[in-house]
A and B are shown apart, each in its own frame.
Chain A
Amino acid sequence: MAEAASRPLLEVDSVTLAFGGVVALDDVSFSIDEGEILGLIGPNGAGKTTCFNVTTGIYRPTSGEVRFEGASISGHKRYSITKLGIARTFQNIRLFGAMTALENVLVGADAHHSTGVLSALFRLPVHRREEDEGHDLALEWLDFMGLQDKADEVANNLSYGDQRRLEIARALATNPKLLCLDEPAAGFNPAEKRALMDLIRRVRDRGFTVLLIEHDMRLVMGVTDRLVVLEFGRKIAEGPPRDIRDNPAVIAAYLGVDEEDAS
């Protein structure tokens, strides 16, 4: 599916991020091409989520630059980065708990809407059009994620798996060019994980580019086109899954082999 190397959608260009004296990311560079699924992996504490937060504009890099479609995203507000076309989910689920599943997704769909107080108050055409559009889109994604029966359920009352899928639906409703998933399968059993990976592949087939953080090596091998491996804030390897699998540095990072054996 992936027409490899068409053009980079997102470029992370020698990004360094330091929190005081702690260097969380050290000169990390990689890029994501349009239409591919890029996996970002690494052991616990390797800086995956930090890297993720930099690419989605939550953190501003100490040095280096993140470019989306050729333009730097630094200096953009977080909500306008969403408008540019980067959407994300959270590692620890962060839904709008007291709102229904449908409303959660509608908030995502609203990212490109402009209804204000006056158009809502007087039910102007722009309100009605956007409301219809948003509902169609939201229901479509709920359906895609298998949540069509749960649309009116309060997000807090959904099962764990449904909450994870709802997060993805909400992110997709912002109609992103790049979808960033932060350990979407955390806490899933193997069957659920496989189902989710299948879902992610189908998301990509619909034309979305996906950046996927995952802990479980075996899982990412099956679904990603390319992998970037982080350890202690540095990129230690990059390439197609089968190369990464045999990369001694990666094996060392994951299994914690002694220094001399790893080289």
Chain B
Amino acid sequence: MAVSSLLDATRERLLGLPKAVKLILLLLAALVAYALPLLNPPILTTPDTDFGGVLFIVTTYMLVALGLNIVVGYAGLLDLGYIGFYAVGAYTVGVLGSQHGHLSWLVCLPIAAVVAMISGVLLGAPTLRVRGDYLAIVTLGFGEIIRLTATNADWLGASFGISNIPKPPSVDLFSVPHLVWSGGVASIDLSNKSTFLTFGVVDSVPYYWLGLTMVILVILADRRIKDSRVGRAWEATREDEDAAEVMGVPTFKFKLLAFAMGAFIGGLSGGLYAAYIGFISPVSFALIFSILFVSAVIVGGAGNRWGVMVGAIAVAYLPERFRGFADYRVLVFGIALILLAIFRSQGLLPPRRTVRARRGASKVESLESGAFDG
């Protein structure tokens, strides 16, 4: 509980800062984030795997978490088949860039996002009429349908998958060396440089930069959309669908919109991942990823864009960081989830209003049980 209230207090303090200070802090944080794979900070870095690669995967999870947050966190629709949209994005890039065409990745990516969005609308139009658990089941099926289709369709490479997926075009401008740390002292490692921007097969750092940039763009877009009629309509639908409808919100339309937006971002993430990994097969899109995506959103705090990014870090980064524990990491992850459910069921960083509402409720509770504590 103490940790829980410390989290809330820290957040309150951060949010209480003047706007300019917050902006500077954010810019600094972004700068540090961009420099992270070069700095290789001793505690953060992953000793057993390529740190840049891990960070890149984290950004794809962040994108996914941001997209899924629109569906689960804002509109309150439990989607257990989100991997499907991710797969549609990846496969679109694969099909247009390698399997059946040779389009540039820059052309493939927007098409992939749009195709994913269309698949979101196609899935949503018939299924968004069912609610709650039923929707979860239908979407679960969708994720599997996509995977099975990919496994069985020859023009999608069947179970062999698609290889030689195009990389983003490189523009070599300058190189930056990495730091190496030994015994708390940093030194510059001139033999290990990242080139801005070479999208090759050896160095993952440029992909990470690209991923991070996309995350930032999505955050900016998400902020603007959330803080408008659209965001309010989503939240009203989540809170009470019937009341929202009676208050003039065309809830079906907005739910479909949430699905489409979420799918769009999922498709972006999939297309980005495909370019990095260069090879996709149905195995990359197993059901477990849908579950991981949803847990990223729930662990982080559904409805808060910063929260779900923390969740994405928890889900994608921590297992890599503790690769040394190999066999136990899934167990530890499970225990962590259980502890979280007990002590902080609203997620690590829930929306501030949820925190306030909970505080109000617990105050009432303590008054009712007669336990005054000021």
Contacts and interface: CB of A to CB of B under 8 A. Distances in A.
Q: Does A pair with B?
A: yes
Interface of A: 56, 58, 77-79, 82-83, 87-88, 90, 94-100, 103, 106-108, 110-113, 115-117, 120-121, 123, 127, 130-131, 134, 154, 156-157, 170-171, 174
Nearest to B250: A79
A185 to B, nearest CB: 20
Contact of B225 (A88, A120, A170): A120
B12 interface: no
Interface in B329-362: 351, 353-354, 356-357, 360-361
Given A156-B357, A170-B247, A99 B236 contact: yes
Contacts of B239: 95-99
Contacts of B232: 99, 103, 106-107, 110
B249 interface: yes
What class of interface size applies to chain B in its complex with A? 20 to 34
A154 B352 CA distance: 10
A66 to B, nearest CB: 15
21 contacts: A56-B246, A77-B245, A79-B245, A79-B247, A82-B247, A82-B248, A95-B239, A95-B240, A97-B357, A98-B354, A99-B236, A107-B244, A110-B233, A111-B247, A117-B230, A117-B257, A121-B224, A127-B228, A127-B229, A134-B229, A157-B357
Q: Max chain B CB contacts within 10 Å: which of A56, A98, A131, A174?
A: A98
A209 B337 CA distance: 54
B74 to A, nearest CB: 11
Contacts of B221: 121
A134 B248 CA distance: 14
Contact of A123 (B224, B229, B248, B360): B224
Given A99-B235, A174-B247, 5 more contacts: A99-B232, A99-B239, A108-B248, A115-B228, A120-B224
A154 B243 CA distance: 17
Contact of A78 (B224, B245, B357): B245
Contacts of B233: 107, 110
Contacts of A78: 245-246
Contact of A108 (B230, B247, B354): B247
A95 B236 CA distance: 9
Given A98-B353, A117-B257, A156-B360, A58 B224 contact: no
A79 B243 contact: no
Contact of B242 (A94, A116, A117): A94
B92 interface: no
A70 to B, nearest CB: 21
Interface string B74-97: 000000000000000000000000
A257 to B, nearest CB: 38
Closest CB pairs A-B (n = 8): A111-B248, A157-B360, A120-B228, A82-B248, A96-B239, A94-B243, A115-B229, A154-B357
B251 interface: yes
B248 A112 contact: yes
B261 interface: yes
Contacts of B245: 77-79
Q: Max chain A CB contacts within 10 Å: which of B248, B251, B356?
A: B248
A107 B247 contact: yes
Interface of B: 221, 224-225, 227-233, 235-236, 239-240, 242-251, 257, 261, 351, 353-354, 356-357, 360-361
Contact of A107 (B249, B354, B361): B249
B228 A100 contact: no
Given A110-B229, A117-B257, A98 B250 contact: no
A110 B356 contact: no
Q: Max chain A CB contacts within 10 Å: which of B230, B235, B257?
A: B230
Given A82-B246, A108-B248, A94 B228 contact: no
A162 to B, nearest CB: 12
Contact of A130 (B229, B235, B240, B247): B229
A134 B261 CA distance: 25
A92 to B, nearest CB: 11
B358 to A, nearest CB: 9
A83 B249 CA distance: 10
B244 A96 contact: yes
Given A127-B228, A157-B357, A110 B235 contact: no
B250 A77 contact: yes
Contacts of B224: 120-121, 123
A174 B248 contact: yes
A96 B235 contact: yes
Contacts of A103: 232, 235
A213 to B, nearest CB: 15
A52 B251 CA distance: 22
Contact of A154 (B229, B261, B353): B353
Given A96-B235, A120-B225, A123-B224, A154 B247 contact: no
Contacts of B236: 96, 99, 107
A170 B231 CA distance: 17
A87 B160 CA distance: 58
B249 A110 contact: yes
B75 to A, nearest CB: 13
Contacts of A95: 239-240, 243
A235 B251 CA distance: 34
A82 to B, nearest CB: 4
